[in-house]
Structure formats: structure tokens, C-alpha cells
């Protein structure tokens, strides 16, 4: 049972502000997407715009190299900060910062070196504009490095209970760089110039983000004085758990579409991907709460305020279940009509596909909500490997279901079964934690 009176506190107000910041960020992303598609496609043409979209996937994949440590750093900083151990905050931040910088910096340097070697092998005199695709990719590599750096600074905001402020500033940088690319393209600029504009905006925004948090938290300098290998080793296990979860999500989202295309053809992949996009919409809504709640859950857990921790867990799970239930009812009545309208009747959908995907997404929404609670305790490693194994199985489902009468629907039901397995694992995990918590309080 959710005790709402327990949330009418400073922690509760921070959660509400965080939800608002997340919602504003979603609006900004929607604005950029709606404006950029016609402007960029009109300015560059379909082929060059497609090339831009392909190149812009680079930051996403590079970010995976830092996802685990970045996520864990924010929670660990919250633990030290709430306990007044400022030197530990500094040690965690600087240790993780140098590790992430070294890993992503090496990836970026290798990419830039590859560009130089390819230019030399082709007899080019390398410079911006010599090869639009390669040069744009080279600039975007630098941009990706800066995105990861600003994400690390954002981890400090979240760790010191400034989630709403950090999220608003971080999303504002994204809005500004998106508008910069749009303006450059509208004025006749190339892909390379648009990438340079985004990079410069990101650099400026990152510096502002850093200066503002250092004024409030003087220890949050990106230096090496407190960096420690011991600290990195201590955070390794939960970080690998967080990385496993991120990799599993990426694999399940993109890998299944690819193997569906291979096993059943592009039409099957299009049907599955478009239907899943519609069905997954409530996950975006429930995550507005989940992302805002997690920093407060971590703060409450490590402050030994377990009562608030469990209240926030109930709030998060309850909201996710409510949003998914309402949307499931909507899909049962209007799902086929929505899909037909969106596809213009050009995509054929199996009769049971929406139902199967709705069940899979319902389990996934509960998993995401429960996962926030476990991540707030720095225990991602207790289920990350199971999630990754399930994602690997999910990628193989299209081949196993290829001879089914409704193969796409069968794949969706298979995904639902795997998500149900993860849900059972998370429930057992949290039940054991709750029992242990109750015993410690009565001892």
C-alpha cells in the first residue's frame, strides 16, 4: 500500500520537480524531431539525410562503453553525499571520470586515426569537406566524447539531489544543438558544418553544466588527485551489471528486428517494429516517474530511510502498472485502427500481434520499475546477466518461430515469456531484500 503522506516531504517535492523536468525534456525532443525531419530532408535530400541519421547512431553505441560506470557513479555519489562523506564523493567521481575518459577517448582517437589512414591510403589531402561522410563521422566522434563527458557531470547533479536542475540543463543542451544543426542545414550548410555546430554547442553547454555544479559542490572538479584503482575495482561489479542491462535492452530492441528481417523478410520486420513502437508508448510515460524517483530511492536507501525507499518503490511500480493497464485497454479497442492509419494500410499485421506485444510490454514496464529499485541499491549485478541471457534468446526467437502459422505473433509471445521470467527474478530479489530489511529493523 502506498502511503502518500510519506511522500509529502522534501524528497517528494524533488521527485515532482524531476518528473516535470523529464516531461519538458520529452517535449523538447519531440519539437526537434518534428522540425528536423522536414528541414534536414528538404535541405539535404533523402539520401544525405539518411546518411546523417546513420552517422548519428555513433554516439549511442559509443555511450554503451560508459553506461555502467556512469549510472553506478551517480548512485554511489548519492550514498556518500547523504552520509556526509564528501571525500568519497570526490574519489568516486574522479575515478570513474578518468576511466570513462580513457575508454571513450581511446575509441574516438582510434576512429580519427582510421579516418587519417583511409585518407592517406586514398591519396587525399585530409581536411573537413574532403569526404562528407567520413569527415562528418569524424566530427561526430568528438561530439560523442563530449556527450559522455556531460553525462558524467550530470551524474553529479543526480547524486547530490539536483536531478531536476541537471536534467533541465542537460536536455536544454540537446535542444540547442538540435536547433543549431537545423539552422545550419536551412542556411545551406553541409553535414560536416552541422556536426561542427552541434559539437561546439555541446562543448559550451558542457562547460556551463560543469561550472554551475562546481560552484555548488567544489569537489566536483574533473581532476586526477583523488582517482583510485581500488575505487574502480569496487564499482566494477555493479557497473558491469548496469552495462549488461543496457546491452540487453539494445539487443532486444534492435536485434530482434534484424533477425526477424533475416528469418521472415523485411515486411515482417516492418510489421513488428511499427507495432512495437505504438505499443511501447506508455513506457516513455512511466519512465518520466522512474528516472526521477531513482535518485531519491538511492538517497533514502543509503540514509537508512528504508520506509521512504519502499514508499517510492510502490509509487513507481504503481504508476507504471496504472499507465500500462489504461493503455492496454486502449489498445484492445483501437490498436488495429491506429496501426492501420499510421501505416497507411501498406503493412499487414497478424491478428494477435498487438495483444502479444501488449503483454510483453506490460511485463517490461514492471521490470523497468522494479529495476530502478535494485539499481538504487547498487545491486544491478544480481540480475543483469540474466537479462542479457534473455535478450540473447530473444534474438534467436524469429528463427525458432519461422514455421509457425503466425510467426511474428509467436515471437512477441516468446518475448513476453522472457520478460515474465525477468519479472519473477526481480520479485524474488526484492522480496528477499524486504525480508532482510524487516529482520534488521526488528533485531
In this prediction, residue 19 carries a pLDDT of 82
Secondary structure E strands in 63-217:
none
Side-chain half-sphere CA neighbours of 231 within 13 A: 23
Phi, psi of 66 (to 5 degrees): -120, -5
Side-chain half-sphere CA neighbours of 319 within 13 A: 20
In this prediction, residue 5 carries a pLDDT of 47
In this prediction, residue 122 carries a pLDDT of 60
- Report residue 120 CA to chain centroid gap: 37
In this prediction, residue 346 carries a pLDDT of 63
> What contacts 95, CB < 8 A, 6 or more positions away?
226, 227, 228, 229, 231, 232, 235
In this prediction, residue 129 carries a pLDDT of 41
In this prediction, residue 9 carries a pLDDT of 65
Residue 161, SS3 per DSSP: coil
Classify burial at 104, counting beta carbons within 10 Å of its beta carbon; exposed 0-12, middle 13-18, buried 19 or more.
buried
- Report residue 406 CA to chain centroid gap: 32
> What contacts 119, CB < 8 A, 6 or more positions away?
125, 126, 130, 131, 134
In this prediction, residue 316 carries a pLDDT of 87
Question: CA 361, 367, 72: angle at the middle one, nearest 5?
Answer: 130
In this prediction, residue 396 carries a pLDDT of 92
The residue whose grid cell reads 516535470 is 20
CA–CA gap between residue 199 and residue 139 (Å, rounded) = 8
Report whether 247 contacts 315 (CB < 8 A). no
Average pLDDT across each block of 10 residues of the chain; the chain has 443 residues. List them in order.
49 79 82 80 82 79 73 87 90 89 88 80 50 86 92 90 90 93 93 94 95 92 81 84 82 81 83 80 76 86 88 87 82 75 69 86 89 89 89 91 89 93 93 82 63
**What separation in angstroms does the CA of 324 have from each of 5, 64, 332?**
25, 28, 12
How is residue 362 written as a grid cell?
Answer: 506490460
Classify burial at 399, counting beta carbons within 10 Å of its beta carbon; exposed 0-12, middle 13-18, buried 19 or more.
middle
Amino acid at each position: 500500500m502506498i502511503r502518500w503522506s510519506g511522500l509529502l516531504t522534501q524528497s517528494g517535492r524533488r521527485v515532482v520537480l524531476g518528473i516535470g523536468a523529464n516531461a519538458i525534456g520529452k517535449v523538447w525532443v519531440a519539437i526537434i524531431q518534428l522540425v528536423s525531419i522536414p528541414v534536414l530532408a528538404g535541405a539535404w535530400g533523402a539520401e544525405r539525410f539518411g546518411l546523417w541519421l546513420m552517422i548519428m547512431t555513433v554516439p549511442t553505441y559509443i555511450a554503451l562503453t560508459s553506461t555502467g560506470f556512469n549510472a553506478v557513479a551517480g548512485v554511489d555519489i548519492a550514498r556518500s553525499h547523504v552520509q556526509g562523506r564528501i571525500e568519497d564523493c570526490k574519489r568516486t567521481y574522479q575515478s570513474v571520470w578518468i576511466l570513462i575518459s580513457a575508454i571513450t577517448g581511446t575509441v574516438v582517437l582510434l576512429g580519427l586515426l582510421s579516418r587519417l589512414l583511409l585518407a592517406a591510403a586514398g591519396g587525399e589531402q585530409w581536411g573537413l569537406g574532403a569526404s562528407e561522410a567520413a569527415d562528418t563521422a569524424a566530427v561526430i566522434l568528438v561530439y560523442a566524447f563530449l556527450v559522455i563527458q556531460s553525462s558524467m557531470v550530470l551524474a553529479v547533479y543526480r547524486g547530490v539531489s539536483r536531478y531536476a536542475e541537471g536534467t533541465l540543463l542537460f536536455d536544454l543542451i540537446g535542444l540547442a544543438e538540435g536547433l543549431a544543426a537545423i539552422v545550419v542545414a536551412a542556411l545551406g550548410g553541409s553535414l560536416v558544418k552541422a556536426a561542427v555546430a552541434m559539437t561546439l554547442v555541446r562543448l559550451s553547454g558542457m562547460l556551463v553544466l560543469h561550472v554551475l555544479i562546481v560552484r555548488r559542490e567544489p569537489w566536483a572538479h574533473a581532476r586526477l588527485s583523488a582517482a583510485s584503482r581500488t575505487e574502480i575495482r569496487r564499482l566494477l561489479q555493479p557497473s558491469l551489471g548496469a552495462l549488461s542491462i543496457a546491452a540487453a535492452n539494445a539487443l532486444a530492441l534492435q536485434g530482434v528486428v534484424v533477425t526477424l528481417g533475416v528469418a521472415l523478410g523485411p515486411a515482417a520486420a516492418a510489421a513488428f517494429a511499427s507495432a512495437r513502437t505504438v505499443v511501447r508508448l506508455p513506457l516513455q510515460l512511466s519512465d518520466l516517474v522512474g528516472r526521477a524517483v531513482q535518485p531519491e530511492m538511492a538517497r533514502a536507501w543509503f540514509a537508512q530511510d528504508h520506509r521512504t525507499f519502499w514508499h517510492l518503490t510502490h509509487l513507481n511500480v504503481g504508476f507504471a502498472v496504472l499507465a500500462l493497464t489504461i493503455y492496454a485497454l486502449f489498445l484492445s479497442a483501437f490498436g488495429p485502427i491506429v496501426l492501420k492509419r499510421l501505416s497507411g494500410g501498406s503493412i499487414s499485421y497478424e491478428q494477435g500481434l498487438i495483444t502479444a506485444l501488449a503483454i510483453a510490454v506490460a511485463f517490461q514496464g514492471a521490470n523497468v520499475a522494479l529495476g530502478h529499485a535494485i539499481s538504487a541499491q547498487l545491486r544491478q549485478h544480481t540480475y543483469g546477466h540474466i537479462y542479457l541471457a534473455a535478450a540473447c534468446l530473444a534474438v534467436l526467437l524469429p528463427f525458432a518461430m519461422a514455421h509457425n502459422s503466425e510467426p511474428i505473433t509467436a515471437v512477441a509471445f516468446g518475448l513476453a515469456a522472457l520478460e515474465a521470467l525477468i519479472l519473477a527474478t526481480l520479485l524474488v530479489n526484492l522480496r528477499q531484500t524486504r525480508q532482510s530489511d524487516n529482520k534488521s529493523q526488528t533485531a
